[in-house]
Amino acid sequence: MKKMLAAIFALFTIVGSLSGCNNIGASNKAENMPTVVWYLRPLQQEDEQAVFAKLSEITEKNVGAKLEIKRIDPGAYSEKLNLAVSSGEKFDICHTAVRYGFNGFSQNGAFLDITNLLPKYAPKTYENIPQHMWEATKYQDKIYGVINYQIVARQHGIVALKSLVDKYKFDLKSVKRLEDLEPFYKSIKANEGSMIVPYGDLAGAAYSFALQHYLGFDNVGSETMPGVVAVGDDSLTVFNQYESEIFKNYIALMRDWYTKGYIKRDSATTTSGGELRKQGYLATICDMIGPGFETSFKDIMGGRDVETVIFDPPFINSNSLLASLNAISATSQNPEKALQILELFNTNKDNIYNIINFGFEGEHYKKISENRIEPIVNSGYYPNCAWMFGNQFNAYLVPGQKDDVWEETIELNKSAGASKLLGFRFDSTNVTNETSQCGAVLGEYLKLLASGSVETETIYNDFINKLKVAGVDKIIAEKQAQINAWKSK
């Protein structure tokens, strides 16, 4: 009997030892996994660490790599990303765009050439995006960024508080150009006083984003740098948009509106635009508009219903395709794993894309149907920036969005007119000093002029003269030369 008990005890000891070895093996495996670091810029969320931990669990299971998300506040993102890149910091992925230096980073070697890696490690992501759109991500025929597929067809117009449109019985749909808003603004100013500002909070900043195509400018490189071509111009002749009659008429209108009190007095310098919108202090804003955008604008306007009107037909250019990407850092130790992780987010493997967007079912949102949810108010997680993380057409629908909003958006992308410069990438290497100097001049003058904050005639002449001294003509000539060479190919 004793021999039998001893044998049983020995057997349990062996089994226990083997089990312990297995646990140690699993632990070692997890510890030895590489960590992929991803820089992102959503607003801080109370429950973000729990969500990020879950995302890492999914990448560990599917890719064999941990995921560390380094979140940076939007206002500091550009500066901190520049610092990470310039210091040679080792990281793997970063959210990027034209406004965050994508063109420069891909040209100077900060981002990795993924031309051959992308189809191998993120094949579905590569296949799901129309092939001609990848042209915008290229520099010298090499791909440097993964497009977050969303609305890429750009249409611009006015977003207005519906309560004011109804109150003053204004036919917003009749508006074809900015000047047509004058009667609406006059009524608001006369009856609402200083309680509500008729036109936007950041008119100067809005110029660079929402009005370029409306004014007929097709960018060559960054959004505000001098040197554009006219939309539809087959000759692709580069000109200084700031010397054009179109721009001069625009700033004259802004000055007129400013003096009438239609524009916020500190619109050229204020940083509180988001809060002003949420407070219902702004009657209208100028922005990009697309299918289902009313839902997002309602949230931006503090839960107030909005009405929109579009000024221009849908249009795709390189900058609209480069509005939201993720790039692989040249310092990445695990570019293959990084691309495999982006593949998970772009294909929504194990619901990872909707987790980063909406958090956990029952805690942060209620499931209404298979692809529709209702976010729980003040739940601790709702970053509201699906365009940042991957293919937005995999996102759950939220209240206010139509059932076919994604199909409608994809159709709009397909039907949009394309820039004649699609795929062209301006290389500023030969005019680095000039672009830096002109950038400084723009920083000094553009918001002041475009918000109507200053008398235009004298200040405008100073602006143009300083651009000349800064080397604007050399930039124009360099852009033209590169476009001519590109056309010849």
Q: What 3-state DSSP class applies to 246?
A: helix
Same domain, 166 and 211: yes
Same domain, 25 and 97: no
Same domain, 411 and 460: no
Q: What confidence tens digit (pLDDT) does each residue in 231-287 have? A: 989 999 999 999 999 999 999 999 999 999 999 888 877 766 777 888 888 899 888
Give the pLDDT confidence score for residue 2 in this predicted structure. Answer: 40
Give the pLDDT confidence score for residue 202 in this predicted structure. Answer: 52
Q: Is the pLDDT assigned to residue 421 strictly greater than 70?
A: yes
Residue 329 CB neighbour total at 10 angstroms: 24
User: With bands split at pLDDT 50, 70 and 90, how would you rate the model's confidence at 36?
Assistant: very high
- CATH of residue 335's domain is 3.40.190.10
Tell me which residue of 348, 438, 453, 445 sits closest to 391, measured CA to CA. 348
Q: What 3-state DSSP class applies to 143?
A: strand
Q: Is the pLDDT assigned to residue 23 strictly greater than 60?
A: no
Identify whether 367 is part of a domain: yes
Of the candidates 396, 418, 440, which is a domain's last residue?
418
User: With bands split at pLDDT 50, 70 and 90, how would you rate the model's confidence at 205?
Assistant: low
Q: Is the pLDDT assigned to residue 106 strictly greater than 50?
A: yes
Same domain, 214 and 290: yes
96: phi then psi, degrees, rounded to nearest 5 = -150, 170
- Model pTM above 0.75: yes
Give the pLDDT confidence score for residue 211 in this predicted structure. Answer: 77
Residues ≥6 apart with Cβ < 8 Å to 377: none
User: With bands split at pLDDT 50, 70 and 90, how would you rate the model's confidence at 312?
Assistant: confident
Identify whether 21 is part of a domain: yes
Same domain, 310 and 458: yes
Average pLDDT of span 325-334 = 97
Domain extent, residue 405, equals: 33-151+320-418
Q: Does an H or E element contain 197, and which?
A: strand 197-199
**Average pLDDT over all residues of the chain:** 89
Same domain, 298 and 326: no
Tell me which residue of 336, 394, 345 sits closest to 56, measured CA to CA. 345
Distance in angstroms (rounded) separating the CA atoms of residues 110 and 455 = 42
Same domain, 345 and 377: yes
Identify whether 408 is part of a domain: yes
Which residues pair with residue 39 across a beta bridge?
70, 94
Same domain, 236 and 310: yes
Distance in angstroms (rounded) separating the CA atoms of residues 110 and 83 = 12
Average pLDDT of span 67-84 = 94
User: With bands split at pLDDT 50, 70 and 90, how would you rate the model's confidence at 209?
Assistant: low
Same domain, 334 and 382: yes
Average pLDDT of span 58-74 = 97
Of the candidates 381, 397, 418, which is a domain's last residue?
418
Of the candidates 379, 400, 418, which is a domain's last residue?
418
Q: What confidence tens digit (pLDDT) does each residue in 119-137 have? A: 999 999 999 998 888 989 9
Same domain, 291 and 184: yes
Distance in angstroms (rounded) separating the CA atoms of residues 430 and 72 = 32
Q: What 3-state DSSP class applies to 180?
A: helix
112: phi then psi, degrees, rounded to nearest 5 = -85, 140
State how many domains the chain has: 3
The answer to which of 160-169, 210-219, 303-312 has the lowest mean pLDDT is: 210-219
Identify whether 238 is part of a domain: yes
Distance in angstroms (rounded) separating the CA atoms of residues 42 and 30 = 28
Give the pLDDT confidence score for residue 88 in this predicted structure. Answer: 94
More confident residue, 24 or 429: 429
Identify whether 423 is part of a domain: no
Average pLDDT of span 298-317 = 90
Distance in angstroms (rounded) separating the CA atoms of residues 224 and 451 = 15
Same domain, 271 and 388: no
Identify whether 300 is part of a domain: yes
Same domain, 178 and 300: yes
Identify whether 380 is part of a domain: yes
